[in-house]
Amino acid sequence: MGFLPDIFVDESLAARQAQLDGQWSSLNALQQTCDNFPSQAWVEFNNDLRNWREFYGSGSNWSQSSEKATNSWQGKAQEWAARMAASGCRGSVGSVGGDDIPSVGDAGIPGVKDAPPLSAGIIDEALEGFGKVKDSVLAPIETVGWVVTGLIVLVLVGIIVIAVRGNVNVAGLGSVGGS
């Protein structure tokens, strides 16, 4: 099945996650070589790194929720780059999007770029498209419904007027109305 595209993959989000995974790997290599990195922060970083790798390995790259989670992980990577710079660690962490970013502090660690604004995921786009189709199908039906309702009201008003002003013979009741 390798020749068919996977419709449940947002290719741009998957590429962004792959690049972000490279940044997490760079941060990991940097913290392992940094003598000034606090031991408590080391445990916290390794927990975040393990959780990031679990998220990345899950293949969650097809919905707006996936994009929100990716943005959150990108924010965590930014925080770690800044914390490592503040600890005096020296090294390089690539930026998401391919642009070079000025160093954070004097440590020479480029920061991780801010996450881009959310875009609609594949499922979200499909649901949005379904909503537009539903609206275009239901609009004429709704219009016909209002026309039919108006006609029914007119017929009922006509029957009432005839019944009140005219002589109407109702089965079993005899003549109703009139003068």
Task: Work out whether the CA dihedral 119, 124, 126, 129 comes out positive or negative.
Answer: negative
Supply the angle between the helices 11-33 and 64-86 in degrees, to the nearest 10: 20
pLDDT in tens, 103-126: 344 344 545 666 666 565 555 666
| Cα distance between residue 57 and residue 72, in whole Å | 16
pLDDT of 52 reads: 93
pTM of the model: 0.54
pLDDT in tens, 145-155: 888 888 999 99
pLDDT of 140 reads: 78
Tell me: pLDDT of 90 over 60.
yes
What backbone torsions phi and psi does residue 87 show, to the nearest 5 degrees?
-80, -5
| Cα distance between residue 123 and residue 97, in whole Å | 24
Higher pLDDT, 137 or 27: 27
CB atoms inside a 10 Å sphere around CB 52: 24
Q: How confident is the model at residue 85 (pLDDT cuts 50, 70, 90)?
A: confident
pLDDT of 118 reads: 59
